[in-house]
Chains A and B, each alone.
Chain A
Amino acid sequence: MNVLGLVNYWAFIFLMMVGFYILISQGNLIKKIVGLSVFQTSVFILYISMGKIRGGTAPILMEGDPVYSNPLPHVLILTAIVVGVATTALGLSLVVRIHEAYGTVEEDEIHDLDVAEAE
């Protein structure tokens, strides 16, 4: 097994897991959304690194006969980046709405307020 060829995937998995940890361990809703976007960006890098060919160049047609990297992951990730921003915008506007209703964006305090209201 060629371990060196897999090290880049492990680096991106580490980044992904940092984002995931921010997402599930932090109580602040804005911090959670930032963690989600760190997670997303790491997935993007993972995809782009799969499209790379050693010694390749950007897929813009040129004279001569160069090796081009695979354009397909680039297209998929272009779409994903824009969709990611759309989700971030929606999530942040939900945070603003939650702040308006509860006066806080800390998950623990929101839970306490809910419990107090139920009693």
Chain B
Amino acid sequence: MPFSVTTSRAAFILLGKELRLEFRTRELLTATIVFALVIVVLFSFAFDPTPAESRRYGPGLLWIAFLFAGSLMLHPSFAREQSNDTLDGLRMAPVSPFSILLGKMLANFIFLSLAEVVLVPVFAVLYNVSLSGIVGRLIVVLILGTLGIVITGTVFSAVSAHARMRELLLPLLLLPILAPLLIACVESTGSLFAEQPALDRTWLAFLAGFDIVFLTASWLLCDYLLEE
């Protein structure tokens, strides 16, 4: 292919397109952040936690909010292309299918991370959790967890884009797959919120393993995923 570009370059071009598209309206990002905030607030009504309890349940609540927000936010990633018939254009581009997937994953990673950047401080204030001294380690956990959500989520967004009731289908496909990721994220965040904050390396390794397994699987299967 004379006009072919490298996978990473194509992925970054696509990332630029996704970011431009989103920051023109910011509708996806705004909706995601507001939705996650609603979950955080509703949880405090439902459980009315004391400071000790919010240390105990806070990590779970935070990650449930991210997971739900992610499963809603990832849906338009391919559905948007589908409704405007632009996916065919992408397919015809002389780039590897993995670069399309990778570009979308990177874009979704940025969107979800931005939502988390807003949400984590709000959560810390509302639930009286002190973030001082653990920010750096928390970011590591957040990055690994978010990667896991967007890697599987972007693939399933492409899977569900062709189906009927696709808005409902994506969470159904995504949330059970993410069960181990949720456990790992909640446990590692929980050990950071404890009286003696510590970073559990086993869970970090598990999260990294999760990301690697599914990134490899998406790399191997992307040709089939994006075929017409």
Chains A and B form a bound pair: no
